[in-house]
Amino acid sequence: MTAVWARYLGQAAAYAAFVGTVGLLAPGPTYQHLAPDLATIKLSLRHAGELVADCHERTAAELTALPPNMRAPKVCPRERSPLQLELRLDEERVYSETLPPRGLRRDGRVSVYRRLSVPAGDVRVAVKLKDDVRADGFQFERTGTVTLTPAEVLVIDFDEQAGGFVFRTATQAARLAAPAG
């Protein structure tokens, strides 16, 4: 009987030591996500490039050479163009990459997410996207100067319905995502 009590007393002492250690360490060390004078820029993109070639009509000779179940009169390639993406902050290139389309047949969308810490204040932002290998230059460009406060987040998003890049602060993005009412 005393062995059982001794075991319970030992367990209580172990639990008390554990809770005391957690209680001592709980107030510190403090975690600081960003330095007090920094802001964050997030580049977010999910986009499919244009097709690498145009569709073409099959000739009568091509159609007769195919099995009956494969005789589609029009053939369109599935492969999409790689994306060329560039981000400049205050005229300095901070991100530049050519991103291949995803998927076994290279026909999927490209997803990009980049996070940068920048000094708070006025920042000149220029972002460019080329999504067609058959065209010259960039098809989508957006340039602007934004004023970022410390710990503020600027989201650079690509919105196909809006026709290009959209700059939003995190508070604006939260307001847009909130249901109306």
Q: Which residues of the chain have pLDDT under 50?
A: 174-178, 180-181
**pLDDT, position 172:** 57
Of the candidates 75, 76, 73, 78, which has an alpha carbon nearest to the alpha carbon of residue 61?
Answer: 73
**Eight-class DSSP state of 178:** S
Single-letter code of the amino acid located at 76: C
In the block, which residue shows the tokens 């987040």?
Answer: 153
**pLDDT, position 1:** 62
Domain that holds residue 19: 2-177
Which residues have C-beta within 8 Å of that of residue 22, sequence separation ≥ 6? none
- Whether this prediction's pTM lies above 0.75 is answered by no
Which residues have C-beta within 8 Å of that of residue 62, sequence separation ≥ 6? none
DSSP secondary structure of 86-149: EEEETTEEEEEEEEPPPTTTT-S-EEEEEEEEEESEEEEEEEEEE--TTSSS-SEEEEEEEEE-
**pLDDT, position 174:** 47
**pLDDT, position 97:** 95
Look at the chain and report how many structural domains it folds into.
Answer: 1
**pLDDT, position 181:** 45
**Eight-class DSSP state of 80:** B
DSSP secondary structure of 6-73: HHHHHHHHHHHHHHHHHHHHTT-SPP-SS-TTEEEEEEEEEEPPPBSS--EEPPHHHHHHS-GGG--S
